[in-house]
Amino acid sequence: MRRLLIALAGVLILIVANVGIYQKQHLVDSGRMVLLELAPVDPRSLMQGDYMALRFRIAAEAFPGGDRDTMHDGRLELTVDDRNVAKFTRFDSGEPLGPGEVLIRYRVRAGTPKFATNAFFFEEGTADAYARARFGEFRVSPSGDAILVKMRGEKLEVLGPFEQR
């Protein structure tokens, strides 16, 4: 009986893990492309090991005073232009979205709003390829869930070893 319970627990863990992987891959494949402009980061600490610390301009626009006491998890409404670059519009009010608008979920961690991630990890030895990063490319679901997939430069060119999709 004990072996059966262990086997069932193992199968359940594999099912849950694979469902999570499937959901993320589906978001990457079918989510709406949204480009978020990076906020300035101290260049001396931009590259640390094999990742880049990220901050996004929409966080500064949405929370201009940085009042950490009133910050809580939620969603922002963004307006996306014809180049897929997003600008902060307002906090989600539950109203239907207008043309060119998209939701993005944020979570407040350590008093800072975070959009899917606060770091971009890359292959060892490729840091120079990302030093010119000015935008993060996200795939966003209709509910606002997002995943960071690429970094882009000032002219929206894909940076790093990614192939064009």
The model's pLDDT over 86-117, given as tens digits with 9 standing for 90+, comes to 999 999 988 898 889 999 999 988 778 888 88
Task: Work out the average pLDDT over 106-132.
Answer: 82
Average the pLDDT over each of 21-25, 63-67, 103-107, 131-135 and give the range with the smallest value.
Answer: 63-67
142: CB partners within 8 A, 6+ apart: 32, 103
More confident call, 157 vs 71 = 157
The DSSP string of the chain is -HHHHHHHHHHHHHHHHHHHHHHHHHHHHHSEEEEEEBPP--HHHHEETTEEE--BHHHHHHSTT--TTT--SEEEEEEE-TTSBEEEEEE--SSPP-TTEEEEEEEEETTEEEBSBSEEE--TT-HHHHTT--EEEEEE-TTS-EEEEEEE-TT--B-SSPPP-
Lowest mean pLDDT among 16-20, 28-32, 75-79: 28-32
The arithmetic mean of pLDDT across residues 131-150, rounded, is: 91
Tokens at 46, concatenated: 């931009």
d(CA 50, CA 60): 26
- Decide: pTM greater than 0.85: no
24-45 residue pLDDT tens:
888 778 788 888 898 865 444 4
How many of the other CB atoms lie within 10 Å of CB of 8? 10
Report pLDDT for 22: 83
